[in-house]
Chains A and B, each alone.
Chain A
Amino acid sequence: QLQVQESGPGLVKPSETLSLACSVSGGPVSSSSYFWGWIRQPPGKGLEWIGSIYYSGSTYYNPSLKSRVSISVDTSTNQVSLKLSSVTAADTARYYCASGRSYYYGMDVWGQGTTVSVSS
Chain B
Amino acid sequence: QTVVTQEPSVTVSPGGTVTLTCASSTGAVTSAYYPTWFQQKPGQPPRALIYSATNRHSWTPARFSGSLLGGKAALTLSGVQPDDEAEYYCLLNYGQTMIFGGGTKLTVL
Interface residues of A (CB under 8 A from B): 37, 39, 46-49, 52, 60, 62-63, 96, 103-108, 110-113
Q: Which residue in chain B gives the minimum CB-CB distance to A97?
A: B45
Which of B34, B57, B102 gathers most chain A CB within 10 Å?
B34
Interface residues of B (CB under 8 A from A): 1, 34, 36, 38, 40, 45-48, 51-52, 57, 87, 89, 91, 93, 96-103
* Beyond A49-B97, A106-B51, 6 extra complex contacts between A and B, CB < 8 Å: A46-B89, A46-B100, A49-B98, A106-B36, A106-B91, A111-B45
Structural contact, A106 and B97, CB atoms closer than 8 A: no
Structural contact, A107 and B97, CB atoms closer than 8 A: no
Structural contact, B45 and A112, CB atoms closer than 8 A: yes
* Residues of A with C-beta under 8 A to B89: 46-47
A8 to chain B, nearest CB (A): 16
* Residues of A with C-beta under 8 A to B47: 110
Structural contact, B45 and A108, CB atoms closer than 8 A: no
Structural contact, A108 and B57, CB atoms closer than 8 A: yes
Structural contact, A47 and B100, CB atoms closer than 8 A: yes
